[in-house]
Chains A and B, each alone.
Chain A
Amino acid sequence: MNVPHIPVLRLGRSYESLEKNEVKDHRTGEVMATVSTVNGGIVKRDLAKISSARAALRKFTVAQLMEMSAKAGELFLNGTLPFGDKGHTQSAQQYIETLSQTSGLPHVMVKRNMTKIHFALTNMKFVLNNLSRGLDLSILDSGGGEQFGTKLSFFPTCSALGLVMPSNSPAVNSLWIPAISLKTPVVIKPGKEEPWTPYRLIQAFIGAGVPAEAFGFYPTDHDGSATILNNWGRALIFGDKSTMAQYANNPAIQLHGPGWSKFVIGEDCIENWRDYIDVIAGAISDNGGRSCINASAVVVPKYAAEIADALAQRLGPVQPTKPEDPNARLSGFANPKMADFIDAQIDDGLKTPGAVDVTAKYRNGPRKVTFEGGIYMRPTIVLCDSFAHPLANKEFLCPYASVVTCPQNEMLHKIGYTLACSAITKDPKFIEELEGFAEIDRLNIGPVSTMAISWDQPHEGNMFEFLWKRRSIERAW
């Protein structure tokens, strides 16, 4: 059978470009699909059609769209959906296998990501209720109403939600899912190595009855990405520190950069550090260490060497496995150059005095390994003598963390931006300081993994508040 082809989706129109990318098996190089790519000009041309995309969603109530989301969740998790424009279909199992083959994620991790997306889709009512703080969402349908003893009216902040997606973790797609129930079309640039998840989600939504006009799927170039980010009124971008810096002062663009997520242990709990090793090790290595909410630093007032050694004993021996192994813990690299880069960065950092790769003695071999044709990075725990060390506050696309000694009273001065912070302390004063610290986005108190997600609370920004704004309204009739 011929190789599937994923077309561009131009707000209801499927488009096969004369230029295509090949998405390949990261181990064998086998072409799994070709993906049409277009320039930014095509995206700009479609700007003119976006009002009809929004109109297509406006025909439905928020309640109806939430029902469709739930149905889409089932289709996404279990259904066989159209796959490209050459007559192919894709079952849930085929999705797992294909995504694993091209991204390097083992099946077990793909399934976990699917479950997260499924949860978000099937619990949209719960999610939006919390994000909107209990708003009667029918107010969005009628344009206004009364609730909480006051008049309420909201207006959409954008014509569509632009998305420049990464390739590292399928579950990041759950971030844009509420947009559909919030009557907002999505215009997506998929990650180069991961077109599968957004495409399957779009097919699931369409299968559930959401109009195809509500979806733009544009594999595109740098210029196209800029168009997606700058032209719809609201956008999400995922990327590294330098990418984030370009958009730092643009309130219309929600940034999802490195998380630099951390564990901090208070002086009151440090004597019990052995009790927390399991949860910390999990936070470092779950999902192959690929998420921005994976812990990348453990900040402790003392016992840093002992904690680093205990983590290294747990994680150091972890080896690549077959993708279908239910106990797989490492992800392969679709782009081997990325593995080379990370390996070199760590080695380079270790040349600066004050850091030791504690995992080395438990690994019995190199950090970067080849297994059945795939490239893998084995876990790395680095003991750093201070936050000043170049490896102390680094984040890599693999299980990596530093363990750093820092007096409790200096921790908040040193840790900097932290997407998810799990603070193991019962000290009310320290907790109060943590709660008042603006550089932490998500705060867990106690031995909670940084990977824990509460869908009813904002995750890197509140999507409802991002897409709708309240306005004052008076009506004479």
Chain B
Amino acid sequence: MTTTVSPEAIKAAQVQLDAHLKEIINWHFSPETGCPYWLAWAQKNFDPRKEINTFADMLKFPHFADESLRDEQPEVWVPAQFKGKPFNIFETGGTTGMPKQRIGWNDYKVDYSEFSEKISDEHFPRGGAWLMMGPTGPRRLRLAIEHLANVRGSSCYFIDLDPRFVKKLISNKQFDVAKQYMAHVVDQATLILKHRKVSGLFTTPKLLEAIAEKVNLYDAGIRGVFCGGTSMKPQEVRFIVEELLEGRIGFYPTYGNTLMGLAASVPLLPEDNFSVTYYAPQPRAVLRVVNPNKTDETVAYGEWGRVELTTLTKEFFCPRFLERDEVIRRAPRAPYAWDGVGDVRPFGAMEKNIVEGVY
């Protein structure tokens, strides 16, 4: 399998990104299409329609202050062209206090319809039922997974896990209760797998491990696992692929969140040594791997840096948001003609213990 990407393909992707960027900037900063938040911002700062011509110009924007997603009413994010159309409200985080919210209409469907083309029918047979075991509630993921299943002619069972509750339990050192809650979630999923025909599974690494202790996933009918939600070190990926999925079930790790959408991973090759690399759904979202101390600069390929996300859809514009993750910057790899991010882990993971991966 060839994984190299030609310079021409990289150039073409840049040209496509710049064209898309221009369109999105015009959309969000024109009074007839834009949303109150960005129109007001332009009045106080500069008019991006005049100053942003290529993606390199995005450095003129400061980092997106995601507190505004918490502090402002959702209506300030409604583009004029979407006025009057009810929106979905998706939340992130929110262990304590008011959560951050992103509104949307169709973006999640676009992201997950595109992702459907990246998973094989062998692993996720069309028409075969799915099971989602993970955070549902106010998260985009719940609707997204159901849409993904539906796009493939499938239906989806849901078992909820509330990560805010789990994080609280861990912060309060109520480990026994956290274990009981995990067991409660896994028991429900086990029940579904025993009594219903399910072939596709979405879950998180921890829950995957927990359910694999209860049932042999292959024997239970699972042929594909789509995983996301937390960082996975190469050894953890190897553990999942070799031990839990026994090399017989397709594994699709993803990196994503409410602000970005979904970054798919390229299929693992032996030389990857189980190090997963994700590629943003460019041009709708762009990931840069920046020097944490000089965020205008990207780090070299193969080096660790902090993730900077720019989201560019007609529903949502989010320039240069500094994610709470650090990654290895990876070169373009077919079929993606732009940078990838590898070995995602919480920002500062080497320096401190972070409550992560609880679900």
Q: A18-B238, A18-B274 are in contact. Are A42 and B243 (CB under 8 A)?
A: yes
B209-241 residues with Cβ-Cβ distance < 8 A to A are 209, 213, 233-236, 238-239
Would you give the shortest CB distance from A17 to chain B, in whole angstroms? 6
Would you give the shortest CB distance from A171 to chain B, in whole angstroms? 33
B273 close to chain A: CB less than 8 A: yes
Q: A39-B239, A42-B243 are in contact. Are A18 and B213 (CB under 8 A)?
A: no
Q: Mark A277-312, 1 if CB is under 8 A from B, else 0.
A: 000000000000000000000000000000000000
Q: Mark B118-133, 1 if CB is under 8 A from A, else 0.
A: 0000000000000000
- Contact residue among B209, B243, B244, B273 (Cβ-Cβ distance under 8 Å from A18): B273
When C-beta atoms are compared, the residue in chain B nearest to A44 turns out to be: B213
CA distance A302 to B214 in the complex (A): 63
Residues of A within 8 A of B213 (CB): 44
Q: Mark B234-270, 1 if CB is under 8 A from A, else 0.
A: 1110110001100000000000000000000000000
Chain A residue total in the interface (Cβ 8 A)? 9
User: Is the pair B235, A38 in contact by a Cβ cutoff of 8 Å?
Assistant: yes
- Contact residue among A17, A19, A38, A41 (Cβ-Cβ distance under 8 Å from B209): A41
A21-44 residues with Cβ-Cβ distance < 8 A to B are 38-39, 41-42, 44
Q: A18-B273, A18-B274 are in contact. Are A41 and B239 (CB under 8 A)?
A: yes
A45 close to chain B: CB less than 8 A: yes
User: Is the pair A17, B235 in contact by a Cβ cutoff of 8 Å?
Assistant: yes
CA distance A42 to B239 in the complex (A): 7
A5-26 residues with Cβ-Cβ distance < 8 A to B are 17-19
A402-447 residues with Cβ-Cβ distance < 8 A to B are none
Q: Mark B78-111, 1 if CB is under 8 A from A, else 0.
A: 0000000000000000000000000000000000
CA distance A168 to B269 in the complex (A): 42
Most chain A CB neighbours (cut-off 10 Å) among B233, B235, B273: B235
Residues of B within 8 A of A41 (CB): 209, 239, 243-244
Would you give the shortest CB distance from B349 to chain A, in whole angstroms? 14
Residues of B within 8 A of A44 (CB): 213
User: Is the pair A45, B233 in contact by a Cβ cutoff of 8 Å?
Assistant: no
* 14 extra A-B contacts, CB within 8 A, seeds A19-B233, A45-B243: A17-B235, A18-B233, A18-B235, A18-B273, A18-B274, A19-B235, A38-B235, A39-B236, A39-B239, A41-B209, A41-B239, A41-B243, A41-B244, A44-B213
Interface residues of B (CB under 8 A from A): 209, 213, 233-236, 238-239, 243-244, 273-274
Interface residues of A (CB under 8 A from B): 17-19, 38-39, 41-42, 44-45
Nearest 3 Cβ contacts at the A-B interface: A18-B235, A19-B235, A18-B234
9 contacts between A and B (CB under 8 A): A18-B233, A18-B273, A18-B274, A38-B235, A39-B236, A41-B243, A41-B244, A42-B239, A44-B213
